[in-house]
């Protein structure tokens, strides 16, 4: 079997020390790795009038959000909860971009009270609701308004977005309350690794943008993939950045470019450490039970489930292995048919590339409580979210 080429950024001794201090299982985030990722993506797009906005849906821990805020990134929000966390992390609301769907009137009111800087709305109905609420509000400085575009030949089957033939109606509705539609937001699709999938649509996007009389910004949104598997297709940020810069530089006015990486920037900084609690062999396959569950990783049907799993064992011989979670859910596999050295009870496994859609998509399925989160920084570690206990399961319930 081929040996996994990825690696953790800390030693077995450090892993043991972390679990001794904070318990198992444990989410571990490496600040240095995250900063390198931020720097690499930022440097790849040289267009001068551009800004990056971290997609908080992938990781909403305040310590992680504060890192992005400290380096000058803005925030991309899919929900009011993303905005709420971003504000608590210190983001300037002017640098928060909302691109979601199906806000209630009450949520629109709250988002306006929070002074969110940009709204990308995904339907005529949402434009109508937004403008009705805005007209009744006391907002002195209205936010920027964009449309989340639907291109049927590109995003086939997607429920989200305003089609080009609906632009005129959206513009008319906005004009009725003195608001201009000044931008287009494009979302390619979750976890797309093919660079061409983004670059080949830019011409069609720019044509659509030209239909807006007051066009000011292009929000080339999220969906950027991350290579969880070695020797697989990897998104090329340099190619993407060069292509966008070349196209936008041809306009005779300074179009603002917004880019919203999430998974692509944060996945690689995270590791989920787990402890082996049982081992059995089935027809030559090693079946390893650990003290975590697949519900502490992303939902397979939504965001994929593969992560490389590494052992700190010194045994170099590899065996076909299933790594199983600690519930009776028949699909509770953290890894299947993967190469892993022989392990024993008490050994530590590292599930790498868990920085995105790990805790953010974790749940209390089968009433397992969620792990703690820590941050490695300057050679030391600190707790950034406490481990839950069983009392968490009782919170907000009526006990009478």
For the stretch 3-28, pLDDT in tens is 445 778 889 999 999 999 999 999 99
pTM: 0.94
| Mean pLDDT score of the chain | 92
Q: How far apart are CA 270 and CA 28, in angstroms?
A: 6
What pLDDT is attached to residue 302?
60
- What does the pLDDT average to over 35-61? 96
Name the residue among 85, 67, 83, 70 with its Cα closest to residue 382: 67
Q: How far apart are CA 70 and CA 388, in angstroms?
A: 28
Kindly report, residue by residue over 198-216, the tens digit of the pLDDT.
Answer: 888 888 899 999 999 999 9
What pLDDT is attached to residue 2?
42
Collapsed DSSP state (helix, strand, coil) of residue 66: helix
pLDDT at 325 over 90: yes
- What does the pLDDT average to over 64-70? 98
What pLDDT is attached to residue 3?
44
pLDDT at 55 over 70: yes
C-alpha neighbours within 13 Å on the C-beta side of residue 56: 32
Residue in the structure block whose two tokens are 């950027």 = 224
Lowest-pLDDT range, 185-199, 292-306, 324-338, 359-373? Answer: 292-306
Q: Which residues contact 220 (CB under 8 A, 6 or more apart)?
A: 186, 198, 202, 205, 244, 257, 258, 259, 260
Confidence of residue 1 (pLDDT cuts 50, 70, 90): very low
List the domains of the chain with CATH numbers: 12-28+267-385 (2.40.37.10), 32-266 (3.20.20.10)
Q: Which residue has the higher pLDDT, 289 or 314?
A: 289
Q: How far apart are CA 203 and CA 205, in angstroms?
A: 5
What pLDDT is attached to residue 154?
66
> For helices 80-88 and 105-113, what crossing angle results, to 10°?
20
Report yes or no: 228 and 4 within 8 Å, Cβ to Cβ: no
- What does the pLDDT average to over 278-293? 96
pLDDT at 190 over 80: no
Q: Which residues contact 209 (CB under 8 A, 6 or more apart)?
A: 183, 184, 215, 218, 255
Q: Quick one: CA torsion of 270, 276, 282, 284, rounded to 10 degrees?
A: 70
Lowest-pLDDT range, 97-101, 189-193, 309-313, 377-381? Answer: 189-193
Task: Report residue 390: phi and psi, to 5°.
Answer: -65, -20
pLDDT at 281 over 80: yes
- What does the pLDDT average to over 89-93? 98
Q: Output the DSSP codes for 124-165.
A: HHHHHHHHHHHHHS--SSPPEEEEEEE-TTTSTT----EEGG
Confidence of residue 187 (pLDDT cuts 50, 70, 90): confident
Residue in the structure block whose two tokens are 């992560």 = 307
- What does the pLDDT average to over 327-331? 91
Q: Which residues contact 125 (CB under 8 A, 6 or more apart)?
A: none
Residue in the structure block whose two tokens are 């996945």 = 267
What pLDDT is attached to residue 303?
63
Kindly report, residue by residue over 115-133, the tens digit of the pLDDT.
Answer: 999 999 999 999 999 999 9
Report yes or no: 288 and 347 within 8 Å, Cβ to Cβ: no
């Amino acid at each position: 079997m081929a040996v996994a080429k990825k690696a953790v950024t800390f030693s077995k001794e450090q892993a043991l020390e972390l679990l001794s201090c904070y318990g198992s299982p444990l989410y571990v985030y490496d600040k240095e790795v995250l900063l390198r990722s931020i720097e690499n993506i930022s440097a790849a797009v040289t267009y001068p009038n551009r800004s990056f906005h971290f997609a908080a849906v992938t990781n909403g821990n305040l310590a992680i959000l504060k890192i992005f805020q400290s380096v000058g990134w803005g925030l991309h929000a899919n929900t009011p909860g993303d905005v709420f966390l971003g504000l608590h992390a210190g983001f300037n609301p002017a640098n928060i971009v909302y691109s979601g769907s199906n806000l209630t009137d009450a949520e629109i009111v709250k988002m306006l009270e929070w002074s969110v800087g940009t709204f990308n709305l995904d339907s005529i109905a949402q434009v109508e609701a937004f403008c009705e609420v805005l007209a009744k509000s006391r907002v002195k400085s209205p936010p920027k308004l964009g449309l989340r575009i639907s291109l049927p030949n590109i995003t086939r089957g997607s429920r989200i977005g305003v089609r080009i033939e609906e632009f005129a109606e959206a513009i008319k509705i906005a004009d009725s309350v003195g608001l201009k539609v000044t931008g287009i937001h494009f979302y390619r699709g979750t976890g797309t690794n093919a660079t061409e999938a983004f670059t080949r649509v830019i011409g069609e996007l720019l044509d659509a943008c030209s239909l807006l009389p007051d066009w000011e910004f292009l929000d080339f949104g999220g969906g950027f993939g991350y290579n969880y598997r070695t020797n697989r297709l990897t998104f090329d940020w340099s190619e993407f950045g060069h292509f966008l810069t070349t196209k936008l530089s041809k306009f005779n006015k300074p179009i603002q470019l917004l880019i919203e990486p999430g998974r692509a920037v944060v996945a690689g900084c995270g590791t989920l450490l787990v402890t082996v609690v049982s081992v059995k062999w089935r027809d030559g396959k090693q079946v390893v039970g650990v003290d975590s569950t697949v519900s502490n990783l992303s939902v397979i049907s939504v965001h994929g489930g593969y992560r490389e799993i590494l052992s700190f064992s010194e045994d170099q011989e590899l065996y076909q292995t299933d790594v199983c979670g600690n519930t009776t859910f028949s699909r509770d596999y953290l890894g299947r048919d993967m190469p892993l050295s022989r392990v024993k009870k008490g050994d530590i496994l590292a599930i790498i590339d868990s920085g995105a859609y790990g805790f953010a998509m974790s749940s209390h399925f089968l009433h397992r409580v969620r792990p703690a989160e820590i941050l490695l920084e300057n050679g030391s570690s600190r707790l950034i979210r406490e481990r839950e206990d069983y009392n968490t399961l009782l919170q907000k319930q009526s006990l009478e």
